[in-house]
Amino acid sequence: MNFFSEIKENIVISYQAINSNKLRSLLATLGIVIGITAVTLMQTAIEGINLAFEKSIAAVGADVLYVQKFEWFGKEDWTFYKNRKELTMEQYDFLNKNSQTATVMAPSTGVTRTVKYQDLALQNVFILGTTYEYQEVSGFNMIEGRYFTQRESQGGYPVCVIGTDISDAFFENTDPIGKTIKLGNFNFTVIGVIEKQGSLLGLFSLDNRVIIPLERFFSLFGDKRGLTYNIKAADINNVEETKEEVRWIMRKARKVPYGQPDDFGVNAQEAFKSTYESLTGLIKIIGTMITGLSLIVGSIGIANIMFVSVKERTKEVGIRKALGARRSTILSQFLIESSMICLMGGFIGLLISFPISLIIDAFVLPTAMPLWIVVLSLFISLMFGILAGFFPAYTAAKMDPVDSLRYE
């Protein structure tokens, strides 16, 4: 008997068997339903968070390094960092002069102030002081006006470019270009609006910013604040090389003695990623353990029902064998039955988790259910079906035809 037609026939037989025992099959597969619901929800949540993370981390720039006083997610004790000195303009100039592998770099610093336009005010706006190179490093576009020029930058002109949050708040019906806004107590002329950039990890809006020439920033807000050096690596595939170069130049600039650890951090998107991944990795491990457990318990339930089903149908097995069914045919009949019960559980699990994932998406966390999650869930159910059905099916296949025919 041909393998595929055997499977086809056995699917029909299993369908009849399940159909005549609907409630029992449904109850048996409950554990699988719960397991698949859990595993699917977990995956959709992780997938959704991943997507959101990728999106919000994009603003950090995969090819941009940030030289700062501290490392992101530093692992040492606080005392290790407390004596560090701020990054200065002199060190920046030294770095800029000596770096070979960086395309472009810009120093920056910031402060938060209330920003006003006529009688409108926005509190806690981030004022970023930087140079004309900053646009190229960050790679953002202007939706209106322009970014400031080298002359405006070096001359410390009172000009500014603003984020979309500010432009929306102040200039809903008017053209922002040429308008004067107040940063703290100082007047600046708006010369451009930056395209919407979103927020960093949903926490820090990049559109609620005003960017002004660094020279101006120093004269108005002081030049004692530490700087960040924003550096664009020449080759996105070789950020590591640039990072190493920057480190060695910075050690020289800051006169770090040989053998001593760095007293600054060269930060990159990478740092976010690895921290994030270790976090989601933990969630994944815990989630997998929980769902694995419920799937195992679920498949024990299925195995149990299958043993009952085989026992009940001892006579049927005898009849089928008397009519010419081989052991392998009987084996596959019961394996297919348990697989179908589990697949049904998996399918119900998906039907339950899909709307739940939409609800979670709407109110709690972003979620996403790509096709591979659906396929994976069904595949897992199938695997557990085969696993759970194996011993019962094997018992049936091995039955002696005469004994099973005599069974009442």
Partner 1 sequence: MDNLIEIKDVTKLYIMGLEELYALKGVNVNIAKNEYVAIMGPSGSGKSTLMNIIGCLDTPTAGEYKLNGKNVNEMEDDELAEIRNKEIGFVFQTFNLLPRINALNNVELPLIYSGKSKDERIELAENALINVGLEDRMTHKPNELSGGQRQRVAIARALVNNPSIILADEPTGNLDTKTGDEIMNLFEELWSKGNTIIIVTHEEEIAQNAHRIIKIRDGLIADDYLSEKGKRIAEQNNMIKSTN
Among 63, 133, 144, 316, binds partner 1 (CB under 8 A): 316
CB atoms within 10 A of CB 202: 12
Nearest distance in Å: CB 52, partner 1: 51
315 touches partner 1 (CB under 8 A): yes
Check if the beta carbon of residue 229 is closer than 8 Å to that of residue 107.
Answer: yes
- We find the least distance from the C-beta atom of residue 332 to partner 1, in angstroms, to be 12
Partner residues linked to 66 by β-bridges: 230, 267
Q: For the purposes of burial, counting CB atoms within 10 Å of the CB of 136, is it exposed (0-12), middle (13-18) or buried (19 or more)? A: middle
Closer by beta carbon to partner 1, 152 or else 316: 316
How many angstroms from the chain centroid is the CA of residue 93? 37
* Under rule CB under 8 A, residue 23 binds partner 1: no
Q: What is the DSSP string of 103-157?
A: EEEEEEEEEEEEEEETTEEEEEEEEEEE-TTHHHHHT--EEEE-PPPHHHHHHT-
DSSP codes joined into one string, 185-204: TEEEEEEEEEPP--EETTTE
Each residue 327-346 as x (binds partner 1 by CB under 8 A) or -, in order, gives xxx-----------------
Q: What are phi and psi of 117, to 5 degrees?
A: -135, 120
Rounded to a whole number of angstroms, the minimum distance from the CB of residue 334 to partner 1 is 15
Tokens matching residue 161 = 């470019």
Only segment of 51-59, 298-306, 320-328, 382-390 that touches partner 1 (CB under 8 A) = 320-328
Query: What is the rounded radius of gyration, in angstroms, for the C-alpha atoms of the chain?
Result: 33
Task: Please report whether residue 325 would count as binding partner 1 according to CB under 8 A.
Answer: yes
The contact mask relative to partner 1 for 364-403 (x = CB under 8 A, - = no) is -------------------------------------xx-
Burial class (CB in 10 A: 0-12, 13-18, 19+), 249: buried
Closest approach, Cβ 395 to partner 1, in A, equals 15
- 17 or 34: whose CB is closer to partner 1? 17
311 contributes a contact to partner 1 by CB under 8 A: no
> Which residues from 222-261 bind partner 1, rule CB under 8 A?
none
326 binds partner 1 (CB under 8 A): yes
> Does 9 help bind partner 1 (rule: CB under 8 A)?
yes
- Do residues 278 and 306 make contact, with C-beta atoms less than 8 angstroms apart? no
Q: Say whether residue 2 binds partner 1 (CB under 8 A).
A: yes
The binding site for partner 1 (CB under 8 A) comprises: 1-2, 5-6, 9, 16-17, 20, 315-316, 318-329, 401-402, 405
